[in-house]
Amino acid sequence: MEGKEIERARILDIPVDLVDYDSALDRFRVFMENPGCDMIVTPNSEIVVNATKDPALKDLIEHASLIIPDGIGLVKAAKIKHLPLQERVTGVDFLTRILGELEATGKSIFLLGSKPANEERASVADMAAAAMKERFPGLVVAGTNDGYFKAAEEAALVRKISESGADFLCVALGSPKQEKFIYEHKSEFTSVKAAIGVGGTLDVWAGTVKRAPEFWQNHGLEWLYRFLKEPVRFKRVLQLPVFMLKVMFTK
Ligand code: UDP
């Protein structure tokens, strides 16, 4: 099964695939059958702006097998540029679809990233794994690891992922760390067929961070909700108007 052709557009000269959830999931199914590890990236407007300034980030996005438009900014930019992109495909919601697909096909996941355990709770990755298994009881979690490892521990971590035999790798280290980790190691994973960078998604599963209520999501205001919850994100939120202005004034 090869799946339908997906159009790849460019926004601020950064590639983005014009997908919806169904076509993205079709592509995921192809990855799970193909040899090697395919990389899925989920750029929002902040990541696109960063990629215009970080050649290594841009280069690895160019090499991704699937680039999903995660953010209202990208949908608005697509409209300005008359690109056929109807809706944003969020990393959080796409991951949920992937979990359903993994459960249905008996394939396993490894969760890497977010905070380690402390006196009060298990690691965020373990809590996320438990919540995922509650929602998808047949899901096989091949392994977990927190995201606060040292450079010297990286080789052992890559071995741990391979030894787990996981079919799919979900990496929550924040951007661009997670994308760089996947890109650097994807040829070393022996069993992993696809890997995705998901930012704060394990925190959402674990319940350590709350997602914006649906009203905010449906009105394209998730960024504002996150800012109000975490004002330290001020500089990051400012990237959205910067992005929109760049899109409007760039051919
Ligand atoms: N994180 C990590 N290791 C690091 C830095 C960050 O595991 O060295 C985790 C952090 O705990 C959080 C996630 O990466 O769970 C990044 O979350 P953020 O909200 O910044 O992601 P975004 O979706 O905004 O990129």
pLDDT at 164 over 80: yes
Amino acid making up residue 64: A
Residue among 173, 236, 239 whose CB has most ligand 1 atoms within 8 A, to mutate = 173
Count how many domains the chain has. 1
- As a whole-number percent, the residues of the chain with pLDDT over 70 amount to 98
The tokens of 196 are what? 């995705």
90 assigned to some structural domain: yes
14 assigned to some structural domain: yes
HEC-encoded secondary structure of 193-222: CEEEECCCHHHHHHCCCCCCCHHHHHCCCH
Interacting residues of 231 by C-beta distance below 8 A, sequence separation 6+? none
Closest residue to atom 8 of ligand 1, CA basis? 148
pLDDT at 183 over 80: yes
Pairing status of strand 168-172 against strand 108-113: parallel
Average pLDDT value for the chain: 92
**Range of the structural domain that residue 61 is part of:** 8-201
Q: Map residue 15 onto helix, strand or coil.
A: strand
pLDDT at 3 over 70: no
17 assigned to some structural domain: yes
2 assigned to some structural domain: no
pLDDT band at 57 (very low <50, low <70, confident <90, very high): very high
**40-50 tens-digit pLDDT:** 999 999 999 99
Angle formed by the axes of helices 45-53 and 72-80, nearest 10°: 70
pLDDT at 4 over 80: no
Question: Measured in angstroms, how far is the CA atom of residue 41 from the centroid of ligand 1?
Answer: 15
250 assigned to some structural domain: no
**69-124 tens-digit pLDDT:** 998 889 999 888 888 887 889 999 999 999 999 999 999 999 999 999 999 999 99
> Residue 142's domain is classified under what CATH number?
3.40.50
CA distances from residue 98 to 13, 162, 167 in whole angstroms, order as listed? 28, 20, 12
- As a whole-number percent, the residues of the chain with pLDDT over 90 amount to 72
- In terms of pLDDT, which residue wins out, 47 or 224? 47
Does 200 contact ligand 1 (Cβ within 6 A)?
yes
CA dist 30 and 66 (Å) reads 11
Across 2-11, 25-34, 82-91, 121-130, least confident range: 2-11
The confidence score (pLDDT) of residue 2 equals: 52
Does 199 contact ligand 1 (Cβ within 6 A)?
yes
Ligand 1 atom nearest residue 147's Cα: 7
Does 176 contact ligand 1 (Cβ within 6 A)?
no
Confirm if 89 and 121 have CB atoms less than 8 A apart: no
251 assigned to some structural domain: no
CA dist 123 and 147 (Å) reads 10
Does 73 contact ligand 1 (Cβ within 6 A)?
no
